[in-house]
Amino acid sequence: MFLLGYDSLRKRLILPFALLGLSVSAVLSSITIWLVADIDETSIKRVLLVEMESFRNRENRNPDAPAPSATLIHGDFLPSAIYPSIKPPATEAGRFRRYKIGERKYTVLVGDIGGRPYALLYDRTLSDSGLFDLAGALVGGTLLMGGLSALLGHLLAGQVVRPIRRLLTDISEKSATIELRSGAPVSFSAAHFPDNEIGQLVRALDQFALRLHGFVQRESYFAADVSHELRTPIAVIRGAAEVLVESREFSEAAHERLRTIHRQAVRMGEILEAMLLLARETGQSADPACALAEVIDDAKADCMSLVEGRPVTVTVEILDRPIVSVERSLAYVVISNLLRNAASHTREGHITIRLTETQLEVSDTGTGIPQERFSEIFKRHFKGENSSGYGLGLSIVTRIVEMIRWEISVESQSGEGTRLVVRFPSTDGKYAMSGSSNKLRLPMLSE
């Protein structure tokens, strides 16, 4: 299905066509009206000059020669009782002027006839009316040409966009039904598209889809093979450790080591399951449930070895015991990585884990994060200056948080410690709100 409100390529193609047709038509219309007006004006001036010269010659031969008189041409000596608004020129004669006398418009040429100023008038009322009608017709023609250009652009754009829409429909339908890991490779046939750039795009897309399917299939096989090969030895180690922990043949120190082995085997199983869930396209099972308080206890026990020999206290504050709809393995990896990150960067002081109905908070008095690196902490391979890890912990946390639709934010000052807050919906589906502004927040995918 196509999304509404997108920037339509068809509309973007129609607009230039319409503007081009309108602009060209407007320019041609302007040139036409200018040329017609100039030709008309030149013709009127030429007629007046010829009539003035003709009357001058006739008057020289016969002082009683009649003045020019026609439907559009009239003349009279100045000052004139017929045309009192026309005054004798203060400077040289022979200049053209325009006058409006009553409702009529005239072009007037004032010359010298027998030593007296003489005004020859050309009635240009009909000429101006014709020019106005021509201008109106040209404006109408310009608008019509703009409409025809828009229609032509609409038809041509439809032909250009039609194969693109077909390709978009094809991709949308296949993306909605395809199974990347178990289904057949996605294919796009260029036979249904024109043999131009769009056809080349379809062929390139088909090759890309084939390569992508091979990559996803190899990744899927790898995840399944790792799961199959590692689950059995981890289960064996875990079972053997459970039996040995219950045995009375070992000293207390040996039992402590055995319990550590058992915890780490359990941890490896949790991590393996979490990584497999991250690798799956469908994510979690249908209806998971997890008690976060129990996960915090397990994660704390596994991370205590990181602060041994250092003046660091780890405090757990369980204010509520929420049950969240998340796979336990995913919650464990999130909490474990946050605790391990805090333990790795706290040389002395304390680490506090606080759990409420809608959020989990992990704060420490460690080295903190420099301000210039604050925006990079959730990126892969980011690590502190004194860190010995690979910089993947918070990146993995970010991926899990995005997948299970939680929120995570961090507040930190260099040398003063760090506070990470993970928010999850309560039983009514609402998230906790934070009033602090000095923090970096990673939003949910839905935002």
* Same domain assignment for residues 371 and 252: no
pLDDT score of 224 more than 80: no
Among 19-28, 241-250, 387-396, which is the least confidently predicted range? 387-396
Average pLDDT over residues 39-62: 86
Position with higher pLDDT, 428 vs 78: 78
Task: Give the pLDDT of residue 443.
Answer: 44
Q: Is residue 5 situated within a structural domain? A: no
Q: What's the pTM?
A: 0.52
Look at residue 167 and tell me if it is in a domain: no
Does residue 6 carry a pLDDT above 70? no
For the chain, what percent of residues have pLDDT higher than 70?
Answer: 84
- Which stretches does DSSP call E strand in 5-142? 73-77, 96-101, 104-113, 116-123
Tell me if 161 is assigned to some domain.
no
Do 118 and 188 lie in one domain? The reply is no
Q: pLDDT value at position 433?
A: 46
3-class secondary-structure state, position 318: strand
- Minimum mean pLDDT range among 157-171, 174-188, 290-304: 174-188
Q: What average pLDDT does range 415-419 have in this prediction?
A: 85
Residue 432 vs residues 251, 320, 359, 364, 421: alpha-carbon distances, Å: 48, 14, 7, 21, 10
Structural domain of 132: 10-145
Confidence at residue 235, expressed as pLDDT on a 0 to 100 scale = 79
pLDDT band at 353 (very low <50, low <70, confident <90, very high): very high
Domain count, the chain: 3
- Three-state DSSP class for 288? coil
Q: Average pLDDT in the 100-115 region?
A: 83
Residues 249 and 313 in one domain: no
Is pLDDT at 438 greater than 50 in this prediction?
no
Mean pLDDT of 189-200: 78
Q: Are residues 255 and 316 in the same domain?
A: no
Q: Is 60 exceeded by the pLDDT of residue 430?
A: no
pLDDT at 319 (0 to 100) = 92
- Average pLDDT value for residue range 228-257: 80
Helix (H) or strand (E) holding 419: strand 417-423
DSSP 362-420: EEE-S----GGGGGGTTSTT---TT--S-S-HHHHHHHHHHHHT-EEEEEEETTTEEEE
C-beta of residue 240 within 8 angstroms of C-beta of residue 264: no
Other residues' Cβ atoms within 10 Å of the Cβ of residue 34 = 10
Per-residue burial over 330-356, b if 16 or more Cβ lie within 10 Å, else e, is bbbbbbbbbbbbbbbbbeeebbbbbbe
Q: Which residue has the tokens 């008309």?
A: 40
Higher pLDDT, 184 or 325: 325
Question: What is the pLDDT, as a whole number, of residue 437?
Answer: 39
Over range 135-148, report the average pLDDT: 89
214 and 324: one domain? Answer: no
Pick the closest to residue 325 from 286, 293, 356 (CA basis): 286
Least confident window among 15-29, 78-92, 136-150, 293-307: 78-92
CATH of residue 274: 1.10.287.130
Residue 446's pLDDT band (boundaries 50, 70, 90)?
very low
Q: Are residues 436 and 300 in the same domain?
A: yes
Mean pLDDT of 2-12: 62
Token couple for 226: 């790792």
Which residue matches tokens 């009033």? 435
CA distances for 191 relative to 167, 186, 188, 202, 282, angstroms = 12, 16, 9, 9, 33
- The pLDDT score that the predictor gives to residue 436 is 43
Domain boundary (283, 315, 332) is at 283
